[in-house]
Structure 1
């Protein structure tokens, strides 16, 4: 009888988490268009910002990821609930974005408000991953996450289309977009606050030191190997992604497409691919070895980047963004959930904080690196270097998969038992 009650309670928790996450995915999709398209497009076309201002904006999410390393120890000290803490940080992000919307003519407040808002949204990612680990069953975690990913991508695609139309009619309509981003921050916080309350439980060997999470890099060789691979791949991918809008929108590069065309190619096409492929990638994540999934995704990322930059017409730009978006659909699932296959139940947030911290480090490097590289080389050479970097990451984890039977067994489908 007790087992039945536990299973029923778990099912209710899973259902409630999925419901709230589905609703939260709509405002999250709107905010995705800020980072993918509209933030840079407005910076280039409205404020005519230089490389420094654009690099600050592009680095905002990465700065939040770096700060995420310290969120878990602070939460341990506060003894708070995960969902409520994440919600408060999201609402703070919405408030920062509202500052940009309230003073739309001020370039400093535009960059500062949106950057701080994105900083807040990425800072709380490890907390959400911990919630997924506890509230979603292991056998269906990828599929459930992918369902919300489809909704999020659909919302981003629709808003990208509408936003592109608004800017195409009149560039001054960007103010409405800023208010939409701010409102999305508040709405996202509302639905996060309503997630099943998970009281924080200290992981094994827990410490309240701000750097305590880094001990897992030393103690878990598989974790360390995948972090290195992700760093190699991520620098190449993020550097290329930083310049998608810049390449098509900045007249100095010789293309100078209209606002709607830029929004369509960089904001709608890849997100449409995410809508189509998020759910299949969720199933792949649940049924195939993590190393295999990661290696295949790297190939698609590299192919998309090479098509986009080496092809010099509308067809290749669109195809490149489609391939990149397809890879991004699977990349989002694996990026958000892969630590749940390695970490014990209450250590997931710590593992994820290290992962997001290192993602943030490379994200801080990537914009300056990308803008610096195109000053000394063509976009063709830039794309080739990025593509080779991504492909080399597959080779790195391939060596680990062949030489370690323990790793192969640990990360294979069917071995994903709930670790206590």
Structure 2
């Protein structure tokens, strides 16, 4: 086995093991964090918005991770691992003081902040350690494991809370342990020294230059902003809609966990690998546009259905779209950027994702105060579909620039 193949194999092995604790943490952001906030602490909109904005805050901060790494002359994998370990320790604070609403929100929010802050570093690792022709497939394989872990933990966690809501303390310790284990497996990834050009700027805003210089990058960022606002606003209210008695539904803890936490992740298990193959074989603009249609359909079915069947079916559609969305969200910059500019491209992408994520929770709660959930769903769906129309214009061009996004016509730049 040559060195490149050995690096790919070791990266895949470690990422498969890391996907298990990552799947557990996924249930915190998707279901249990909000469910505990509503049912245990009876938190208001401000506190819930703080929690929902934690991952977005980390994404905003990610813009500054790359220049700081340049200054530190560190390695990508070990830097990412240390940030993940810190996130696990922050979550342990919440578990150690489970009766404090402030420490619950603070510890979990800081933990999620850390985990999202290091995303550009992981994307840089995938760009260097995974070959281009099967990068989507390899990422999807770990995505299936991650989703399966989330399904199992979501089911078990829902049962625990159904038996006794006080069992949420065990969930908090599971989240903290998962953060630490994730950092352990990341630390063992093949060490990647930072190899940015010698004239690279260490300005904290230097990565933003790619928005000006790369038209395709700029086009996709605008489209992703349009789609993301609608999708994130809707996702913020999935648990709220089913669990808060003030909305007239008030399902049991297990049913809320099953519908919002298990069903969409089961769909991810089934569809992650096929979407990985699609990512490798089709034009990026086409994949993104199709995914938007499925996201919009899932949201409309969920909020307009008004029955257990439609809530479940909507979450299944949304989960199917999320399977492909996870692959494209994490890897699309690898089709655009030079080898050692991937982390910079990704830091801009995550920064803007974080900006809309910070806006989305407050926007969502404000919208349902002035409109029905039906109207809310239609607004979100139209916003998401508009994003597909926006990139459709660019996708029809036959420029050399867009050719780099076509499988077979693309040669990765060194």
Taking structure 1 as the reference length, the TM-score comes to 0.98
Which piece of structure 1 moves more, 312-321 or 404-413? 404-413
Q: Does structure 1 residue 391 correspond to structure 2 residue 385?
A: yes
Structure 1 gap segments, 5+ residues each:
1-6
Q: Does structure 1 residue 372 correspond to structure 2 residue 379?
A: no
Aligned to 2:256, the other structure's residue is in SS state: helix
**Take 1:16 and 1:51, find their aligned partners in 2: how far apart are those partners?**
44
Partner of 1:418: 412
Mapping of 1:106-121 within 5 angstroms? 106-121=100-115
CA 139–112 in structure 1, closer or farther in 2 if over 3 Å, else same: same
- Contact kept, 8 Å, 1:270 with 1:324, in 2: the verdict is yes
Residue 284 (structure 1) aligned to one of 278, 288, 295 = 278
Partner of 1:146: 140
Residue 208 (structure 1) aligned to one of 182, 202, 209 = 202
**Take 1:11 and 1:140, find their aligned partners in 2: how far apart are those partners?**
12
Residue 324 (structure 1) aligned to one of 318, 338, 346 = 318
Q: Does structure 1 residue 192 correspond to structure 2 residue 186?
A: yes
- Contact kept, 8 Å, 2:403 with 2:410, in 1: the verdict is no
Q: Does structure 1 residue 341 correspond to structure 2 residue 335?
A: yes
Once the 2 structures are TM-superposed, how far is the Cα of residue 204 of structure 1 from its aligned partner? 7.9
- Contact kept, 8 Å, 1:81 with 1:197, in 2: the verdict is yes
**Take 2:408 and 2:260, find their aligned partners in 1: how far apart are those partners?**
37
Q: Does structure 1 residue 308 correspond to structure 2 residue 306?
A: no
Partner of 1:240: 234
**Take 2:83 and 2:218, find their aligned partners in 1: how far apart are those partners?**
29
Residues 367-413 of structure 1: per-residue CA shift (max 9 Å, x gap): 00000000000000000000000000000000011235224312101
Aligned to 1:403, the other structure's residue is in SS state: coil
Partner of 1:43: 37
- Contact kept, 8 Å, 2:55 with 2:354, in 1: the verdict is yes
Residue 360 (structure 1) aligned to one of 342, 354, 373 = 354
Once the 2 structures are TM-superposed, how far is the Cα of residue 414 of structure 1 from its aligned partner? 1.0
Once the 2 structures are TM-superposed, how far is the Cα of residue 116 of structure 1 from its aligned partner? 0.1
Once the 2 structures are TM-superposed, how far is the Cα of residue 137 of structure 1 from its aligned partner? 0.1
Aligned to 1:305, the other structure's residue is in SS state: helix
Structure 2 gap segments, 5+ residues each:
none
Residue 67 (structure 1) aligned to one of 25, 39, 61 = 61
CA 258–218 in structure 1, closer or farther in 2 if over 3 Å, else same: same
Residue 123 (structure 2) aligned to one of 108, 120, 129 = 129
CA 349–203 in structure 1, closer or farther in 2 if over 3 Å, else same: farther
**Take 1:267 and 1:150, find their aligned partners in 2: how far apart are those partners?**
15
**Take 2:395 and 2:24, find their aligned partners in 1: how far apart are those partners?**
38
CA 205–293 in structure 1, closer or farther in 2 if over 3 Å, else same: farther
**Take 2:226 and 2:198, find their aligned partners in 1: how far apart are those partners?**
30
Partner of 2:345: 351
- Contact kept, 8 Å, 1:401 with 1:407, in 2: the verdict is no
- Contact kept, 8 Å, 1:204 with 1:347, in 2: the verdict is no
Runs of at least 4 residues of structure 1 off by over 3 A?
none
**Take 1:193 and 1:203, find their aligned partners in 2: how far apart are those partners?**
25
Residues 163-210 of structure 1: per-residue CA shift (max 9 Å, x gap): 000000000000000000000000000000000000001148621000
Residue 15 (structure 1) aligned to one of 6, 9, 23 = 9
Count of residue correspondences: 414
CA RMSD of aligned residues (A): 0.8
**Take 1:109 and 1:50, find their aligned partners in 2: how far apart are those partners?**
15
**Take 1:25 and 1:409, find their aligned partners in 2: how far apart are those partners?**
33
- Contact kept, 8 Å, 2:77 with 2:192, in 1: the verdict is yes
CA 338–203 in structure 1, closer or farther in 2 if over 3 Å, else same: farther
Once the 2 structures are TM-superposed, how far is the Cα of residue 131 of structure 1 from its aligned partner? 0.2
Partner of 1:408: 402
**Take 1:410 and 1:396, find their aligned partners in 2: how far apart are those partners?**
19
Taking structure 2 as the reference length, the TM-score comes to 0.99
**Take 2:202 and 2:64, find their aligned partners in 1: how far apart are those partners?**
9
Partner of 1:83: 77
Aligned to 1:208, the other structure's residue is in SS state: coil
- Contact kept, 8 Å, 2:216 with 2:402, in 1: the verdict is no
Residues 49-78 of structure 1: per-residue CA shift (max 9 Å, x gap): 000000000000000000000000000000
Partner of 1:3: none
